[in-house]
Structure 1
């Protein structure tokens, strides 16, 4: 099935149809713990149910205990197609995260940082369609063919985003894939916006989703040369700021100007810093 014209796609996303979805439509996926907002959960569900056509895999980079993957898998299940779903994560959690996120969701206390068994149990309703890849995402690689939906929630450093983009972007379906950047508007990760600007010929911004997500349409997947030019690891602060300023101008119609201003202030307050958790609030 061929996608409609780009203007029609923009209009479809501008209407944010996922917002009208009743939370109960997500079924048992609602019970899988996640750090996503409810609106983001509904977006993931909608993308798999109403956007994807089963032409390629659904890939979730940084799925924590499986909350995002569950929403994608349940949406796909209801759509009735069976393209593979791949969830990548280190599958570890600190004691603080366990107390703040897992235990309130009904997960009994347990020792250690390993949450892979927890994720496997939580995702058991969709075990026939979900494959989990524990470990460093950048080292696991991709060998699964074309990708129709790519979710990124693990771009916590410039090195990570460079390696993930080089690994997964070339597999995106031209004129059909969605890229969902979970932390696009997060002030601690300004390199996401900067890199997407360097790849502006390849990705069309479609819509934001509270709290920090931005959705892109893949016009054409970037080749190796484009990804080298878009690399963030050696970007100077002034180039990083220029990239964020470019994103601020290009996405002005989405009403997120203050989020870009916060990113720029964070870069200036943390010169040379390229790891998210080390950023200090400006």
Structure 2
């Protein structure tokens, strides 16, 4: 059987080269607070430095105060290609979240929920490479142009997820774009796995990255019709669970069955619920 380019890509990701990234290589990006795990941080940096070639933008949906954006931008800076890094977020934070994330990073307390000024200050070392887009991501949309690397951490409702897919997925590069679904295995967002499964002909699963990330290669960008058919906002609970079962079967080689069990349990424990923060944890 003839080996294909896609086979080579699968083999490259099976080797998980980002696990060899050191903290020293990612500095000074590590100074920007993030909720990413260590291995996820390495993945983001590696994807921007070693995967991206500058044939499209690097887009970070749900970048919070810029931690993931900094890892992407530092990878882009070291690679030296021409991709621009776009960070999208509401850029707001509750008092509790500020205390939990900012205090350990040595960021002085400040009033209010607005964290955009802080994000701009933290990302200043990469400011020539970065564009920030404050507001609701699904309303802002994408200004246009190809996207080579798309990281998603904002699919907190099925409606927002569907609208973001409609804005961003058609701009992916065929057989060249990576999609990093950061919350793919997060039990509060079981619909992400279902969306990607309903778009299975367009996306090839490449790697699972603890604790909840799944990486895909865009085989062909979905068009408007495919995205309408893949929409999850009006799925019944039975359809949602069936989608999770199908995703579990397709991703069996990645050894994530225990995570799919929790996703399915969460969907069953929260009938009709499609807002992440309203989901209650499934019984153990």
Per the normalisation by structure 1, the TM-score is: 0.98
Paired residue secondary structure (1:201): coil
**What is the CA RMSD across the aligned residues, in angstroms?**
0.7
Structure 1, gaps ≥5 residues long: none
- Is the CA contact 1:60–1:68 (under 8 Å) kept in the aligned structure 2? yes
Residues 95-151 of structure 1 show CA distances to partners (whole Å, capped at 9, x for unaligned) of: 010010012111100000000000000000000010000010011111130000000
Q: What is residue 249 of structure 1 aligned with on the other side?
A: 249
Q: CA deviation at 1:243?
A: 0.5
Q: Tell me the matched-pair count.
A: 279
Q: What is residue 67 of structure 1 aligned with on the other side?
A: 67
Superposition pairs for residues 50-199 of structure 1, below 5 Å?
50-199=50-199
Distance 2:228 2:168 in 1: 14
Which piece of structure 1 moves more, 4-13 or 157-166? 4-13
2:65 aligned with 1:48: no
Distance 2:127 2:82 in 1: 12
Moved over 2 A (4+): none
Q: What is residue 216 of structure 1 aligned with on the other side?
A: 216
Distance 2:162 2:246 in 1: 19
Q: What is residue 281 of structure 1 aligned with on the other side?
A: 281
Paired residue secondary structure (2:11): helix
Q: CA deviation at 1:82?
A: 2.2
Q: CA deviation at 1:43?
A: 0.3
Paired residue secondary structure (1:105): coil
Distance 1:86 1:80 in 2: 16
Q: CA deviation at 1:83?
A: 1.3
Structure 2, gaps ≥5 residues long: none
Residues 206-264 of structure 1 show CA distances to partners (whole Å, capped at 9, x for unaligned) of: 00111100000000000000000000000000000000000100000111101111111
Q: What is residue 26 of structure 2 aligned with on the other side?
A: 26
Per the normalisation by structure 2, the TM-score is: 0.97
2:209 aligned with 1:206: no
Q: CA deviation at 1:24?
A: 1.1
Paired residue secondary structure (1:241): helix
- Is the CA contact 1:54–1:83 (under 8 Å) kept in the aligned structure 2? yes
Distance 1:238 1:106 in 2: 47
Q: What is residue 231 of structure 2 aligned with on the other side?
A: 231
Distance 2:110 2:28 in 1: 23
Distance 1:237 1:265 in 2: 12
Q: What is residue 263 of structure 2 aligned with on the other side?
A: 263
